[in-house]
Amino acid sequence: MTDQTDGVGVEWFHREHGGQVPSNEDSRPPSQAVTGMWTKCQECAEFLRNEDLDQNLQVCPLCGFHHKVAAHQRLEAIIDTGSFEELDTLITSADPLEFTDTEPYAARLARTLAKTRENSAFIYGRATIHGRPVMIGTFNFAFMGGSMGSAVGEKITLLFEHALAEGRPSIVINASGGARMQEGVLSLMQMARTTAALARVRDAGLPYISVLTNPTTGGVAASFAMLGDMHLAEPRALIGFAGPRVIEQTIREILPEGFQTSEFLIDHGMIDQIVDRRHLRERIASILALLLD
């Protein structure tokens, strides 16, 4: 699409429709190439109406690229309408180490709380899928990259404990850069804590489905995210402990093409299925029916 139509500039579109269609020659990085009502696809570079992307769960209708999606939108696409009962909304992080890097952790945390209007990087609660009761939670990547600190570990542990007490299957949608370095060992211990809670769920014979999205890395990938009864991944999601650049610098070798993507992992037996985000609800419902009926 060019910025001229039959000799008439795009001013008419901006005036009549509230937005301007940018040229596909836009030289800005894909994540910045957004004008008015339009977003530039990070894969095919076509400009897409934001309204169309929202209706398509942030999946490009032309090439199928999965853009980032808001946490609540992701949940609503999977569960039955109106069934979500969020739990433990007041749990939030503290700053016991009084940590400072480029700025105090307390200041960074306060800014994130104000920006996201959420108290932590994880949202969870009771819901139903096709009428079946579940405990379900999702990471909020907009909250400090979905990093896992004490508050996130507490809420994931509580998700598994509620699932055990109520006899519900568990579903966790992962989108995280890993453990939150500003909380040090208090963050790292959440790996063991959540895994121990999950072990009790497994001993009770209750299913746990782990959904891996882009990215699922660090301490989250090294603990409960890769301990599911079923591992479903979105297309081309980055999944692994350390990033490819870190691994290449450490072992001083060039990694295979597509290393640590969903497609690479399924070829090597690390995950069970790759599922388009738009089909995730029905796939989860089918798996639960097979496991429980």
Q: What would the mean pLDDT of 137-148 be, rounded to a whole number? A: 97
User: In this predicted structure, what is the pLDDT of residue 16?
Assistant: 41
Q: What would the mean pLDDT of 147-167 be, rounded to a whole number? A: 98
Q: Where are the beta strands (DSSP E) in the chain?
A: 4-5, 8-9, 34-35, 38-40, 47-49, 85-86, 122-129, 132-139, 170-176, 208-217, 230-233, 239-240, 273-274
Same domain, 34 and 124: no
User: In this predicted structure, what is the pLDDT of residue 25?
Assistant: 44
- Position with higher pLDDT, 118 vs 6: 118
Same domain, 137 and 234: yes
Q: What would the mean pLDDT of 150-176 be, rounded to a whole number? A: 98
Q: What would the mean pLDDT of 50-62 be, rounded to a whole number? A: 93
Same domain, 264 and 122: yes
Q: Which domain range does residue 11 map to?
A: 4-55
Same domain, 89 and 186: yes
User: In this predicted structure, what is the pLDDT of residue 29?
Assistant: 44
Token duo for residue 16: 């009549």
Same domain, 163 and 265: yes
For the entire predicted model, the pTM comes to 0.86
Q: Indicate whether 65 belongs to any domain.
A: no
Same domain, 178 and 41: no
Q: What would the mean pLDDT of 193-210 be, rounded to a whole number? A: 98
User: In this predicted structure, what is the pLDDT of residue 14?
Assistant: 38
Residue 223: phi and psi, rounded to 5, are: -135, -120
Same domain, 27 and 80: no
User: In this predicted structure, what is the pLDDT of residue 7?
Assistant: 36
Q: Indicate whether 187 belongs to any domain.
A: yes
* CATH assignment at residue 184: 3.90.226.10
Q: Indicate whether 60 belongs to any domain.
A: no
What percent of the chain has a predicted confidence (pLDDT) above 70? 88
Same domain, 264 and 240: yes
Please say if the pLDDT value at position 22 is more than 70: no
Q: What would the mean pLDDT of 261-290 be, rounded to a whole number? A: 97
Q: Indicate whether 61 belongs to any domain.
A: no
Please say if the pLDDT value at position 280 is more than 80: yes
Q: Indicate whether 241 belongs to any domain.
A: yes
User: In this predicted structure, what is the pLDDT of residue 293?
Assistant: 87
Same domain, 22 and 147: no
Same domain, 288 and 154: yes
pLDDT tens-digit readout, 239-266 = 999 888 888 889 898 988 889 999 999 9
Q: Indicate whether 160 belongs to any domain.
A: yes
Nearest-angstrom CA–CA distance, 170 and 201? 9
Q: Angle of helix 184-203 relative to helix 150-166, nearest 10 degrees?
A: 10
Whose CA is closest to 77, among 54, 61, 49, 48?
A: 54
Same domain, 93 and 167: yes
Same domain, 101 and 182: yes
Please say if the pLDDT value at position 36 is more than 80: no
pLDDT tens-digit readout, 183-193 = 999 999 999 99
Rounded to the nearest integer, the mean pLDDT of the chain is: 89
User: In this predicted structure, what is the pLDDT of residue 136?
Assistant: 98
The total number of structural domains that make up the chain: 2
26 pLDDT tier (thresholds 50, 70, 90): very low
Instruction: List the single range of 13-22, 156-165, 203-212 with lowest mean pLDDT.
Output: 13-22
Instruction: Please name the residue that has the structure tokens 């989250």.
Output: 220
Residue 9: phi and psi, rounded to 5, are: -70, 175
Please say if the pLDDT value at position 131 is more than 80: yes
Q: Indicate whether 62 belongs to any domain.
A: no
Q: Indicate whether 66 belongs to any domain.
A: no
